Amino acid sequence: MTVMDSEEQALDLRTELSPEQRTADMRLSIDPGFVHHRKIQTLLGQDGMKYIDEAINQLPDQPDWMRSTRINHIYTEAVLIFCKALEIPTLGQILATRQGRVFCSTEKLEPTPDIGETERAITRILTPGVDEPIVELHYSPSHIVASTTRTDLRQGETLSIVAQFHSYRDGRLVFHPLLMGGPWLSAETEPGPFPAPEWFSYAYFENFIEDIDEFAAVRDTPTPTDFQIMEEISEAAFKQCLVEILGDTAKADWGGETSDHFTSHLHLNGKRTTAAFLLKGPARFAPMGLNHLGKNNDQICRLAQEPAQLLVVQHCHDILPPVRTTLREFAVSPGATRRYCLIDGRDSLRLLMAYDKLNRALELS
């Protein structure tokens, strides 16, 4: 998936699904196409393997090919439970903090055209905004169990990956994958809230300003075509108006903060949730790129350290696709997904207008 694809998928979500559908309970898993059973057994240990052995023993008599597929899914489920329980970070978090030996995330890969001609394949992971270190997956193609995954690796696609650190040398960070496969979205309830959820995959967990109950008045406020006035509204003023809309109290900023505002008073379709906000004012009134967010995107990394189920990035101007891709990478991990939201200059102005806060924001500025 290209960077522009992420922008197009967000547009599809916003136009094709209702707020109720976008806030439904959904689960992101991995459709296993690469499974390294030995490494998984080592990672999970005896306790983890008890779960796997019990699940395998309960399988009915089946043809070998079907049994093998079921076993791969059992291994996958066990690994995702392990990652969720231990709060295994995404690759982006590891790169930003330089900590962690296992990652679980969805990543865009460079093509590996020689995958069918080598006993040891090397696939580079694309890391927008991070030039060093180069991140590579080293693995044996013999552990590929699905032709689709082999094709995806050859062509360079987006895959969900659980991988373990192996070495760092000469500016190259090497991981050995335990699991790889397509990100797979499914409903937690039956029937699901909409047909064919797999079409949206890991992009599904993006929410929009109109999905938040406390901001619902924006649904009746047209999106402004001109948001130049946002250049006159300071970050502090927007923050004050934001907390007034939420019924919160603004806290003073300080250098070690992980977010600009944290709240437990947000609701998505009536369900209470916690949210952490990263706010960017008009100090640079220009489209937000990764260079707005600190070295190695560390501001998004700090935001992701908050114990919040919704991560929100707000900016007074447009927000460029690489920011959406990076925020999604930090928020959406297979088996342990959080939601994320981007509020650009148009939606910021729309929010102020919907709650009659525009003049107040200008006065505070």
Query: Same domain for 95 and 18?
Result: no
Q: What is the rounded CA–CA span in Å between residue 246 and residue 169?
A: 49
For residue 39, the model assigns a pLDDT of 96
Query: Same domain for 347 and 301?
Result: yes
Query: Same domain for 182 and 245?
Result: no
Please indicate, yes or no, if residue 229 is contained in any of the structural domains. Answer: yes
CATH number at residue 208: 3.40.1350
Contacts of 247 (CB under 8 A, 6+ apart): 265
The parent domain of residue 162 ranges over 26-187
Report CA torsion sign: 170, 173, 178, 180: negative
Query: Same domain for 156 and 290?
Result: no
DSSP state of 225: S
Distance from chain centroid for Cα 209: 17
Please indicate, yes or no, if residue 227 is contained in any of the structural domains. Answer: yes
Query: Same domain for 20 and 62?
Result: no
Please indicate, yes or no, if residue 294 is contained in any of the structural domains. Answer: yes
Helices (H), the chain: 3-16, 19-22, 37-57, 64-85, 91-97, 147-155, 235-246, 298-304, 321-331, 345-354, 358-364
Asked if 329 contacts 207 with a C-beta cutoff of 8 angstroms, the reply is no
Please indicate, yes or no, if residue 128 is contained in any of the structural domains. Answer: yes
Query: Same domain for 267 and 174?
Result: no
Which parts of the chain are beta strand (E)?
Answer: 26-35, 102-108, 121-125, 134-139, 158-169, 172-187, 206-207, 261-268, 271-280, 310-315, 339-343
Query: Same domain for 67 and 115?
Result: yes
Residue 127: exposure state from Cβ atoms within 10 A (0-12, 13-18, ≥19) = buried
Q: Which residue has the tokens 């699991």?
A: 179
Residue 162: exposure state from Cβ atoms within 10 A (0-12, 13-18, ≥19) = buried
Query: Same domain for 208 and 355?
Result: yes
Output the six-digit token pair for 317.
Answer: 């101007």
CA atoms within 13 A on the CB side of 258: 12
CATH number at residue 110: 2.40.50.140
Angle of helix 235-246 relative to helix 345-354, nearest 10 degrees, comes to 50
Please indicate, yes or no, if residue 275 is contained in any of the structural domains. Answer: yes
For residue 297, the model assigns a pLDDT of 63
172-181 pLDDT tens trace = 999 999 999 9
For residue 4, the model assigns a pLDDT of 43
* Residue 316, helix vs strand vs coil: coil
Query: Same domain for 322 and 272?
Result: yes
Which of residues 187, 221, 253 is at a domain's end? 187
Output the six-digit token pair for 147.
Answer: 């032709």
Please indicate, yes or no, if residue 213 is contained in any of the structural domains. Answer: yes
* Residue 312, helix vs strand vs coil: strand
For residue 35, the model assigns a pLDDT of 97
Distance from chain centroid for Cα 355: 30
Q: What is the rounded CA–CA span in Å between residue 287 and residue 352?
A: 20
Output the six-digit token pair for 208.
Answer: 């929009």
Q: In the chain, what is the straight-line distance between the N-terminal and C-terminal CA atoms, in Å?
A: 41
Give the predicted TM-score (pTM) of the model: 0.88
Distances (CA, A) of 28 to 81, 336, 351: 12, 8, 30
Asked if 357 contacts 339 with a C-beta cutoff of 8 angstroms, the reply is no
DSSP state of 193: S
Query: Which residues of the chain carry a pLDDT beneath 50?
Result: 1-4
For residue 283, the model assigns a pLDDT of 87
Please indicate, yes or no, if residue 192 is contained in any of the structural domains. Answer: no
Nearest to 300 by CA among 346, 344, 250, 260: 260
Which of residues 187, 216, 237 is at a domain's end? 187
Query: Same domain for 126 and 216?
Result: no
Output the six-digit token pair for 158.
Answer: 């987006």
Query: How high does pLDDT run on average in the chain?
Result: 91
For residue 214, the model assigns a pLDDT of 96
Q: What is the rounded CA–CA span in Å between residue 315 and residue 333?
A: 24
Which of residues 162, 187, 212 is at a domain's end? 187
Output the six-digit token pair for 277.
Answer: 């906000």
Q: What is the rounded CA–CA span in Å between residue 79 and residue 349?
A: 43
Nearest to 284 by CA among 318, 253, 258: 318
Q: What is the rounded CA–CA span in Å between residue 327 and residue 206?
A: 10
Query: Same domain for 174 and 39?
Result: yes
For residue 6, the model assigns a pLDDT of 63
User: CB neighbours (10 Å) of residue 96?
Assistant: 25
Total count of domains within the chain: 2
Please indicate, yes or no, if residue 196 is contained in any of the structural domains. Answer: no
Query: Same domain for 144 and 213?
Result: no
